[in-house]
Structure 1
Amino acid sequence: MTTPAAQSEFVADRTKAASLTSSRPTGHGSVPAYDWIAHHSAQRPNKEAIRDLGSGRTFTYAELDRRIDAMAAHLASIGIGRGDRVGVLAQNGVEYFDIQFACARRGAICVLLNSRLTVTELEYIINDSSPILLVHDLSFADAAQELQRLCSIGELLAIDGGTPDSPYEKVLARFDGEDGGRADLTHDDLITIMYTSGTTGLPKGAMITHGMNFWNAINLGIPGGIGLDTVHLNVLPLFHTGGLNCYSNPVLHAGGTVVIVKAFDPGETLSVLGDPAQGITHIFAVPAPYQFMMQHPDFADTDLSRLRVAGVGGAPCALTIMETWFERGVPLVQGFGMTETSPACIFLDPGDALRKIGSTGKVLLHTEARVVNDNGGDCGPDEIGELWVAGPNITPGYWNRPDATIAAFEGRWLKTGDAARIDDEGFFFIVDRWKDMYISGGENVYPAEIENVLYQLPEVAEAAIIGVPNDKWGEVGLAVIALKPGATLDRSTVIEHCVTRLAKFKIPNDIAIVEALPRNATGKVLKRELRTQFVDADAPMIS
């Protein structure tokens, strides 16, 4: 395992190497990392910063600043300083922001853990990142204690819903009013390690710098209209970049208000969106929450008129989802990003949302993007290739994984693994993940296109296409479908629907009916699990 010192040396080497291939340097070491919360606490101490609906508490910037100082003082008391790691295993709550910004004050690194993973899966991540302290929800106490035994974690600290007798709140009370210190940091220092969902192989810890967080706040803040009056509803898990950085961190950078729900529920989310007292102006989600909300009986009557920006990303969004929200007067503004890009790279201006439905937009101000063919050259208009991105918002690499870092980059360009095209106006379209593409009869097939067609069937609640082996064509498509309550669907109906809408080689060869599609914590369909179920296990189709 690479030591932190060796890791730092490697990161510096990659940054230096990247700068040699570019007309401008990629390092930002001379830029200091400023304290956003301390600034707003001084400028607008009584402005609401966090509204935690899960615990029923609200916090002004002054109150949030005081909590962060107390947590930083606690970290100092147990010897956590520059470069040390602090793990978080919890559902959404204000504690994520306490710890993130307290780590920033100490120069420590926050490791955000997916609360849906098993102890075995978390054991690998914790052994890889070696946190000194693990902060956890009380509901995860058994898992935390087992992980402490397996991974030699120094300290545990339990969150108990914000109650005064919670160990976490007792620590804040004990250090209330104390100064945890301020590390001398730059934009190149790490603030977070976020582990990828591990769609192939073991999870990789994407290293997130202070500079990445800053440039993401600028990249998203300007086109997203984020400012002092923004009230953002966070429905995604805060251990994920979509929850933390779209748009929660940019809103706190701008001095707005972040409203947190403990976990997404379609009916409760619609209730919050429609409540004038909440005043929600912004929301961001992957396609699944929008799909589940539009299928909820309250969707048609919910007042959505206060929403200014409803962002969607993280996975291809079916056209039927976008069209349904358009009909309610809410354009779903698409964008492209990934954990390694902090995450915003491409953004569709709301003014183009209807005209360019299906596009992820144009490259953001402080990012570069290109679509590259198999020979490493730039693709022409509407030619499909791999999306590559570069800029100050791109990760320096993967924690303890110099091999994975080298494989992910071509000079200063991060190879995203996404198939994309650019139209003649410069708008980007994400076609699909390269790994989800399959080849049938020599033709490339991108599942997202077929899934869009399947969603047009009124019986379909969820749909996913995977390639399965076929003696004649190499691979053919299997449509895995979850039906709406009371609906029935057979193979012939699906084929008949697709015949007039898709080329013959794209039409699914068979269908399988399931109760629900497997998804990760952010709502992305786990196609690897579908392949395990229907390809690796050679399971029979249900037609």
Structure 2
Amino acid sequence: MTTTTDTDATAFTPDPADVAAMTTSRPAGHGAVRAYDWIAHHRDNRAGKEAVRDLGTGRSFTYGELDARVDAMASYFASLGVGRGDRVAVLAHNGVEYFDVQFACARTGAICVLLNWRLTVNELEYILNDSSPKLLVHDTEFVASAGELQRRCGIATTLEIAGGTPESPYEQALAAAAGGPIDRATLTHDDVLTIMYTSGTTGLPKGAMITHGMNFWNCVNLGIPAGVGLDTVHLNVLPLFHTGGLNCYSNPVLHAGGTVVLVRQFDPGEALALIGDPDQGITHFFAVPAPYQFMMQHPDFATTDLSRLRIAGVGGAPCALTIMETWMDRGVLLSQGFGMTETSPAAIFLDPGDALRKIGSTGKALMHTEFRIVNDDGGDCGPDEVGELWVAGPHITPGYWNKPEATESAFEGRWLKTGDAARMDDEGFVFIVDRWKDMYISGGENVYPAEVENVLYQIAGVAEAAVIGVPNDRWGEVGLAVLALQPGAEVDRQQVQEHCAERLAKFKVPADIAIVEALPRNATGKVLKRELRTQFVSDDAPKIS
């Protein structure tokens, strides 16, 4: 249902002048380049062309129909007083509603805040108090969470999707708003369209600001080498709150006038069936390594017709050699790439023609991207010398919402410091070899140990806590909590997992624990995680299941 309430919850609401300062905290270099309306363009040129096939609800929308939905959502914004610079949050599984909201924001100058539905209410509370949305759009599944978040964060209005039926509050709101006034905004590439929150190394999320320009340049950077065009039919299985789901390749496909096929959540058998179905006509697919692994382990993998796939992209985490080879044996060359939320995300891409001879590489810089691999002295590394990867270009974030200090520390001049260790071979191909930061990736989701460690310290009897990522056949990496206990205390894995599960998203919960007398530290007291990795991440170390 739609509710409007006055609450006592305290939420930070920036002054409009402060919003302008936040959205231009670093010069993006585009001047006054105007942002254009993609969906309106396709309405004028191919109104009857299928834009979105929403398999979760069995609905299909042409560009003309999608344009009408976007207009109705923009009119609904106006009825709520949501305008330029205001935030609209989405807490939902994949559906056409993501595109309704995103492109309505693009028309009105509002900013969409995409929420990870895996997070707990406590985790979402911080994000929503930081971004201060006026409207929260949510699935029925999250109605209880939405109500609690509305109370805690002072959100004026919530809108329930309820499965996309005509009787749902969401669809009724669109129907009522259709034909109403719209506060259209003239926007430039430097205006912020989306805020995507990434976990911070301090344990608090940071809202990466995604501008209209970043969206556009990602379409150019990624769409051209991925062969995205009017005839593209892209199967999206990643969550649309994630940059990989929204921008690899869904937004580039809508920019080009192709078709995006949505499933609510990934299922390996369903994905294979859709790819193999000639009536679906899937030409493009993108995922992190885990879905590729689950699909190749499915009994239908060997018999699925994969011949219509032109591009199968993989990114978000290092892809194991066995995954690459297994798909290659089925005639599919996985196109690897490197990117991050802050790069919108495409930055480096491995052309399928080089996939066989450069297995393990993420490729070369995309057309509108520059990179450096920098050594400890700030100089450029030579061939095969490991250093930190820095990137620059028009697709780089201007910074983090409400966090000028984090923005400042993330950049060296115009260069974004990725925190990833990389090397470049003598042909210019980039290989990601490790991460400077302690972050690890579990099933395509970034996990920052500091956040988990903060929760572990709440357990009675825990004197010291450190979390490291350890290899896992299914998820790529999982967390190992290394604990030193107070004298006489006892803690077991089940206790740790139950405690963490109440306070953290499932993918952040440590898969196992190790008890040590004391954590190794240097002279300044910093925990030496490299020694923990040597102890627990080795051929002789016990495997985490």
Deviations 1:494-518 (A, max 9, x none): xxxxxxxxxxxxxxxxxx9xxx9xx
Which of 513, 529, 534 is matched with 1:533 structurally? 513
Deviates more, 1:179-188 or 1:284-293: 179-188
Deviations 1:208-240 (A, max 9, x none): 000000000000111010000000000000000
Deviations 1:397-424 (A, max 9, x none): 0000001001100000000011111110
1:6 aligns with 2:13: no
1:502-513 equivalences in 2 (<5 Å)? none
Deviation at 1:344, TM superposition (A): 0.4
Q: What is the alpha-carbon distance in structure 1 between the residues aligned to residue 356 and residue 471 of structure 2?
A: 29
Q: What is the alpha-carbon distance in structure 2 between the residues aligned to residue 28 and residue 133 of structure 1?
A: 30
Q: What is the alpha-carbon distance in structure 1 between the residues aligned to residue 137 and residue 391 of structure 2?
A: 34
Residue type of the alignment partner of 1:144: A
Residues 363 and 479 of structure 1, relative CA distance in 2, 3 Å threshold:
closer
Q: What is the alpha-carbon distance in structure 2 between the residues aligned to residue 537 and residue 248 of structure 1?
A: 50
Aligned residues: 464
Deviations 1:358-378 (A, max 9, x none): 111110111111110001100
1:143-162 equivalences in 2 (<5 Å)? 143-162=145-164
Q: What is the alpha-carbon distance in structure 2 between the residues aligned to residue 332 and residue 535 of structure 1?
A: 40
1:311 aligns with 2:323: no
Deviation at 1:353, TM superposition (A): 1.2
Deviations 1:121-151 (A, max 9, x none): 0000000000000000011000000001101
Which of 391, 394, 397 is matched with 2:396 structurally? 394
The percentage of aligned residue pairs carrying the same residue is 71
Residue type of the alignment partner of 1:363: A
Q: Which runs of 5+ in 2 are unaligned?
A: 1-11, 450-465, 476-492, 520-535
Deviations 1:54-100 (A, max 9, x none): 00000000000000000000000110000000000000000000000
Whether the aligned pair in 1 keeps the contact of 2:312 and 2:333 (CA below 8 Å) is yes
1:450-489 equivalences in 2 (<5 Å)? 481=472
Q: Secondary structure at 1:110's aligned position in 2?
A: strand
Partner residue of 2:84?
A: 82
Partner residue of 2:240?
A: 238
Deviation at 1:11, TM superposition (A): 4.7
1:249 aligns with 2:251: yes
Which of 115, 139, 142 is matched with 2:141 structurally? 139
Partner residue of 2:485?
A: none
Deviates more, 1:175-184 or 1:157-166: 175-184
Residue type of the alignment partner of 2:221: N
Q: TM-score, normalised by structure 1?
A: 0.81
Q: Secondary structure at 1:191's aligned position in 2?
A: strand
Q: What is the alpha-carbon distance in structure 2 between the residues aligned to residue 406 and residue 534 of structure 1?
A: 37
Q: What is the alpha-carbon distance in structure 1 between the residues aligned to residue 404 and residue 511 of structure 2?
A: 29
Q: Secondary structure at 2:164's aligned position in 1?
A: coil
Deviation at 1:384, TM superposition (A): 0.6
Residue type of the alignment partner of 2:137: V
Residue type of the alignment partner of 1:293: M
1:93-172 equivalences in 2 (<5 Å)? 93-172=95-174
Whether the aligned pair in 2 keeps the contact of 1:370 and 1:389 (CA below 8 Å) is yes
Partner residue of 2:42?
A: 40
Deviation at 1:8, TM superposition (A): 2.7
Deviation at 1:333, TM superposition (A): 0.3
Q: What is the alpha-carbon distance in structure 1 between the residues aligned to residue 65 and residue 474 of structure 2?
A: 47
Residue type of the alignment partner of 2:18: A
Which of 347, 354, 358 is matched with 1:356 structurally? 358
Deviations 1:412-456 (A, max 9, x none): 00000111111100111111222249xxxxxxxxx99xx9xxxxx
1:261-340 equivalences in 2 (<5 Å)? 261-340=263-342
Partner residue of 1:69?
A: 71
Whether the aligned pair in 2 keeps the contact of 1:71 and 1:180 (CA below 8 Å) is no
1:258 aligns with 2:260: yes
Q: Which runs of 5+ in 1 are unaligned?
A: 16-25, 438-446, 452-463, 467-474, 485-511
Whether the aligned pair in 1 keeps the contact of 2:39 and 2:63 (CA below 8 Å) is yes
Q: What is the alpha-carbon distance in structure 2 between the residues aligned to residue 404 and residue 358 of structure 1?
A: 31
Partner residue of 1:470?
A: none
Deviation at 1:356, TM superposition (A): 1.0
Residue type of the alignment partner of 2:369: T
Q: What is the alpha-carbon distance in structure 1 between the residues aligned to residue 16 and residue 321 of structure 2?
A: 45
Whether the aligned pair in 1 keeps the contact of 2:48 and 2:64 (CA below 8 Å) is yes
Which of 181, 184, 187 is matched with 1:185 structurally? 187
Whether the aligned pair in 1 keeps the contact of 2:54 and 2:263 (CA below 8 Å) is yes
Residues 41 and 358 of structure 1, relative CA distance in 2, 3 Å threshold:
same
